[in-house]
Amino acid sequence: MRIFGLIGYPLTHSFSHNYFKEKFRREIITNTSYELFPISDIKEFSTLIATHPNLLGLNVTIPYKEQIIPFLTELEATAKIIGAVNCIKIKHSLSGQVSLKGFNTDAYGFSQSIKPFLKNHYRKALILGNGGASKAVEYALKKTGIETIKVSRNAKSKPYKADFLYSELTKEIIQSCQLIINTTPMGTFPDIHNYPQIPYEHLTTKHFLYDLVYNPEETEFLKRGKLNGAKTMNGINMLKLQADKSWKIFNLQD
């Protein structure tokens, strides 16, 4: 039995398990399973690998996209630049050695999902959050020539990881950044009433709000954007695209 899976914590409402289960059924992929591996501490990762010899690939979600890197044997070039990993290809040698190569498919999923909406020629984007997902989004946007500004709610992260705190956002900043991406888990089910604290009253019909959260389908962040005339999009297409990219990586013959 070939085993693939997802690590993170918590994984109660994971999209990946059902997505891959349905993919295996639809494409008649046999002798293969996709499992959830909720680990409450990244130190549990080594035990997971040692006790699952049939494990051939893993996706990585919050909060381990950055913490996983020291445990890996190798980083693909894009993952190294971004500094975050959400896909691991696992190889087992005949001698018992295990090779763990990290990739980032979040950047691919995000860039492909948002591409149709970039015809409006956004020049500057506001990225909410400073975790692993925000790094992938920042990388993808910069590749298209879009300037990025990062916002964090954690004072200690400034000035090293974020340009502004939420409390520092002004009308001028909001109006100069017509593309706003939420890369935080705020608003994810069941905490659906939570949302990033930006001054929504300064949004206009020229704004586009993108939320990496997909459950619920319309987060409070997107609702508040829509009430002020902004175009909105959730993260479900990004998730599907990065998952399909991960599957191709898992099955690469190299």
Please give the distance of CA 35 from its chain centroid, rounded to a whole number.
19
Angstrom distances, CA of residue 243 to CA of 19, 150, 230, 240: 9, 26, 28, 5
Residues whose CB falls within 8 Å of the CB of residue 95, separated by 6 or more in sequence, listed in order: none
Q: Is 65 labeled as catalytic in the residue annotation?
A: yes
Q: Which residues pair with 74 in a beta bridge?
A: 101
Instruction: Give the amino acid at 10.
Output: P
Tokens, residue 175 = 């109006």
- Give dist(CA 239, CA 254) in Å, integer: 25
Show the CA angle centred on residue 242, arms to residues 152 and 51, nearest 5°.
Answer: 95
Tokens, residue 9 = 């914590």
Alpha-carbon radius of gyration of the chain = 19
Dihedrals φ, ψ of 190, to 5°? -95, 0
Other beta carbons within 10 Å of 173: 18
Other beta carbons within 10 Å of 57: 22
Nearest to 14 by CA among 4, 1, 5, 3: 5
Catalytic residue among 65, 101, 135, 245: 65
Tokens, residue 204 = 């206009």
Catalytically annotated residues: 65
